[in-house]
């Protein structure tokens, strides 16, 4: 057990960091190159004002027409994305590890708040699974990879909650927590989770095209 713990907190952790940042850099470069090849003027009509307007607009709940049409999905999605970002980044235990490894730290959130956010993420993932199974139009577009990604995202939160509260088998769950977190980070540049990287660029492109070229809104 101790050997596995040292492996996931040592070599595998550093390998994860390298693959994550290297993969993100590669995907951004590859997508920029592909965009340039498919549309030579794609960067020429990028407009800072319309790009920022689109980005900020889509970050506001119920700002777009599609969000208004699906209120429950909008609420769950915003809660999910807020919690999935804040909980790991501002969890005290994670900040302590960063301080130990690279001597960087910042303010943390209370553990009880991290618990609440963890539970919300787990229930949100369950909501997304049920939605894909129940709604015909969503089920038609879903495949096994959609459910696998949801499981990947939920796993670090389930195992982390289990380990923190020291339920039976928490030592094993601690290792699974770190391992599942590393799997998610490695997967981000190479799966549909990459939308977290491309969101800003996608919205900037759409906002610029609709605002500066078509003279209309993109929501």
Whether 218 maps to a domain, the answer reads no
Cβ–Cβ under 8 Å, residues 152 and 192? no
Which of 37, 45, 38 has the alpha carbon at shortest distance from 214? 45
Angle at 72 between CA 67 and CA 75, to 5 degrees: 70
| CA 100 to each of CA 9, 39, 97, 103, 104: distance values in angstroms, whole numbers, following the listed order | 12, 46, 5, 6, 8
Whether 219 maps to a domain, the answer reads no
Rounded to two decimals, the pTM is 0.90
Backbone angles phi, psi at 107, to 5 degrees: -65, 145
Full domain range(s) for residue 202: 2-213
Q: Between 73 and 64, name the one with better pLDDT.
A: 73
For 161-202, write each residue's pLDDT tens digit: 999 999 999 999 999 999 999 999 999 999 999 998 889 988
Is the model's pLDDT at 72 over the cut of 90?
yes
CATH number for the domain that contains residue 152:
1.20.950
Which of 157, 65, 82 has the alpha carbon at shortest distance from 115? 157
Split at pLDDT 50, 70, 90, the class of 67 is: very high
Is the model's pLDDT at 149 over the cut of 90?
yes
Compute the residue count for the chain.
Answer: 219
The per-residue pLDDT of the chain, averaged, comes to 92
| CA 97 to each of CA 10, 39, 86, 163: distance values in angstroms, whole numbers, following the listed order | 12, 44, 16, 16
Domain count of the fold of the chain = 1
Percentage of the chain modeled with pLDDT above 90: 71
Whether 62 maps to a domain, the answer reads yes
């Amino acid at each position: 057990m101790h050997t596995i713990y040292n492996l996931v907190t040592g070599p595998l952790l550093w390998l994860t960091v390298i693959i994550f940042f290297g993969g993100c850099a590669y995907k951004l470069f590859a997508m920029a190159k592909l965009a340039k090849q498919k549309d030579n003027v794609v960067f020429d009509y990028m407009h800072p004002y319309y790009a920022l307007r689109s980005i900020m607009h889509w970050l506001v709940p119920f700002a777009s027409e599609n969000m208004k049409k699906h209120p429950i999905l909008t609420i769950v999605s915003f809660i999910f994305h807020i919690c999935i970002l804040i909980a790991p980044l501002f969890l005290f235990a994670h900040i302590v590890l960063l301080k130990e490894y690279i001597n960087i730290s910042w303010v943390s959130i209370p553990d009880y708040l991290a618990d609440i956010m963890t539970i919300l993420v787990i229930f949100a993932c369950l909501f997304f699974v049920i939605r894909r199974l129940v709604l015909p139009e969503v089920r038609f577009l879903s495949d096994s990879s959609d459910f696998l990604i949801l499981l990947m995202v939920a796993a670090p939160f389930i195992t982390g909650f289990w380990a923190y509260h020291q339920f039976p088998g928490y030592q094993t769950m601690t290792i699974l927590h770190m391992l599942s977190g590393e799997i998610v980070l490695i997967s981000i540049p190479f799966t549909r989770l990459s939308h977290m990287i491309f969101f800003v660029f996608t919205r900037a492109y759409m906002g610029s095209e609709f605002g500066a070229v078509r003279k209309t809104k993109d929501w």
